[in-house]
Amino acid sequence: MSSSWLRRLRFGRSLAVGFLFLAIVLSMGHAAAPDGGFDEGTGNVSTVVTSAAPTITEFDIKNVTDNATRMGAQLDVNVTYWFWLRVNDDNNWSDVQNVWINLWFDGGNDTATYDAQGAGANYRLNLTYNNSGGDNTPAASEWSVSEGNFVYSNASSSVFVNTAPRDFSFRLAFTLNKQVRQANDPVNSGLLGYDDTNSWNAQVRAVDDERNLATVQTNALGVFFEFGVFQYTEVTISAPWLAGSIAPGANASTNTVNVTHISNRDYRVRIWFVGHLRSASNNTISVTNVKVLAAADSTDDVTVDTPFAGIGSANAIYLRGNATSNESHDALGNSQTTIVQLNIAVPLGTQTGTYVATVTIRVEQP
């Protein structure tokens, strides 16, 4: 064997030894990694019980009628649903201080948080559990509405014991008020975050006496809590518009009528005549002799006395909003009222009689 081969052989042996060293060093590195370990020693037994944060293992919104989930679907306003919620605290329930069920409209921005949603009571809801007594037996009466336009029914709610005194389930009855913001039916609820724009998002938070905070925004499968809200409109009219006796050639104003309207998003309110005023003898007074009086309501969008140009929706007068823009949704209240008063001019030559007509008021959402 030549010396050259011998040198190569020795070099190869050195290389192998180097690799062996490398393996040893890397093994040392892995052994030093913080993958667990133990200590041994002697001395007095001393135990510190750690404070465990509450755990929220279940949350859902369900129908009262058939207990079907509504998460990922739409809720109707003025209809009672249940929150289903399960919370555990390994330090026993007395350690739980508060539980919050937070619902908020994302406003078209999926990253909007509950705390950042500050539009008003129709945009952010908070049902709060307060363990004021620090007891181990939670009660439905300890839940209350702390924010938002919705109703919680203590009498219709229940608490179930899973493992006393630390693990409880809650069935909480709630009803959204009628102007709680409409929201789209979520179709994409997924695992990566709140991903349905213009929907409502939900989360549950719980905090214990040591301020350990637990927050849950997804179900067991990791799907984020999102839901929608039906669109809702309502009109309440207190009475018909009545005019007393009017001589031909004169005019008279009707009584004022309160038109209370409800809409859970931007809206328009308009009024029009279905037909002309007609008497039992089939005589008529054209609706062009009728006008909406601006002075009846200083808050509406009728700023001058406005006559009807004709019958039908094409000749409607907008009380709120106009043909191209909407009245903004009321973020705070549960209804609005527009006072409507009409003035009727009776043309000369009109036959005597009681003239009757029907007006239509439409509240519409874009």
Q: Which of residues 209-238 bind another protein (CB under 8 A)?
A: 228, 230-238
Residue 221 Cβ, how far from another protein at the closest point, in Å?
15
Count how many residues are written for the chain: 366
Q: Which region, judged by CB under 8 A, interacts with another protein, from 11-19, 50-58, 121-129, 317-325?
A: 11-19
| 56 vs 180, beta carbon nearer another protein | 180
CB of 110 to another protein, least distance (A): 15
User: Which of helix, strand or coil describes residue 281?
Assistant: coil
30 binds another protein (CB under 8 A): yes
Give the residue with the Cβ less far from another protein, 171 or 362.
Answer: 362
Are the CB atoms for 87 and 162 separated by under 8 Å?
A: no
- For another protein, the binding residues in 314-343 under the rule CB under 8 A are 342
Least CB distance from residue 342 to another protein, whole Å? Answer: 6
How many Å apart are CA 15 and CA 70, to the nearest integer?
Answer: 67
Nearer to another protein, 33 or 155 (CB): 33
Does 33 bind another protein (CB under 8 A)? Our answer is yes
With CB under 8 A as the contact rule, the residue among 68, 221, 323, 348 that binds another protein is 68
8 A C-beta contact, residue 127 and residue 152: yes
Q: At residue 11, what are phi and psi to the nearest 5 degrees? A: -65, -40
74 binds another protein (CB under 8 A): yes
Q: Smallest Cα–Cα separation from 148: which of 73, 51, 77?
A: 77
Q: Does 64 bind another protein (CB under 8 A)?
A: no
φ and ψ at residue 67, rounded to 5 degrees: 65, 15
Task: Name the minimum Å distance from CB 282 to another protein.
Answer: 14
Out of 112, 139, 252, 294, the only residue in the binding site for another protein (CB under 8 A) is 252
Residue 241 is a binding residue for another protein (CB under 8 A): yes
21 binds another protein (CB under 8 A): yes
Cα 354 from Cα 157, distance rounded (Å)? 55
> Measured from the CB atom, is 61 or 262 closer to another protein?
262
In the bound state with another protein, the residue whose beta carbon lies nearer, of 183 and 216, is 183
Provide the minimum distance between the beta carbon of 100 and another protein in the complex, in angstroms, as a whole number.
28
> 307-324: buried (b, 16+ CB within 10 Å) or exposed (e) per residue?
ebeebeeeebbbbbbeee
User: Sign of the C-alpha dihedral, residues 258, 264, 266, 271?
Assistant: negative
User: Which secondary-structure segment (H or E) carries 85?
Assistant: strand 80-88
Residues of this chain, 146-185, that bind another protein according to CB under 8 A: 178, 184-185
Q: Find, among 243, 93, 97, the residue nearest to 168 by Cα.
A: 93
224 burial (CB, 10 Å; 0-12 / 13-18 / 19+) is buried
Among 213, 274, 309, 332, binds another protein (CB under 8 A): 274
